[in-house]
């Protein structure tokens, strides 16, 4: 699946890399992402599929517990359920 950021999400990045605050315009509470979660958010660009996003994460983060793939897929599901991301058009740009 190829994901993109929802057009109804406001994003504020901290000047230091590694943190981002998100607010869906219909939500009442922001979501703050840091570390690998922020990296996943940054990799969601409407062009990379889940496999490519996870490959990038594996290159940048140590996975001692062997849980990176499962946790990443679960996190993507969570972002979708909060309406922070949505499926991108089938045709890649």
Q: Which of 93, 39, 86 is nearest to 62 (CA)?
A: 39
Per-residue pLDDT tens digits for 20-49: 999 999 999 999 999 899 999 999 999 999
Global pTM reads 0.87
Q: What is the pLDDT of residue 64?
A: 87
Residue 15: pLDDT band with limits 50, 70, 90: confident
Yes or no: say if 75 and 37 are a contact pair by the CB < 8 Å rule: yes
The larger pLDDT score, comparing residue 93 to residue 52, is at 52
Residue of 47, 54, 51, 56 whose CA lies nearest to 88? 47
**How much is the pLDDT for 88?**
94
Residue 16 has pLDDT above 90, yes or no: no
């Amino acid at each position: 699946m190829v994901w993109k950021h929802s057009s109804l999400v406001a994003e504020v990045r901290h000047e230091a890399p590694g943190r981002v605050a998100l607010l869906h315009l219909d939500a009442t509470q922001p979501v703050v992402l840091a570390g690998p979660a922020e990296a996943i958010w940054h990799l969601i660009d409407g062009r990379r599929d889940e496999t490519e996003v996870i490959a990038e994460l594996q290159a940048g983060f140590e996975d001692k517990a062997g849980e990176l793939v499962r946790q990443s897929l679960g996190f993507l599901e969570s972002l979708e359920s909060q309406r922070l991301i949505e499926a991108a058009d089938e045709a890649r740009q």
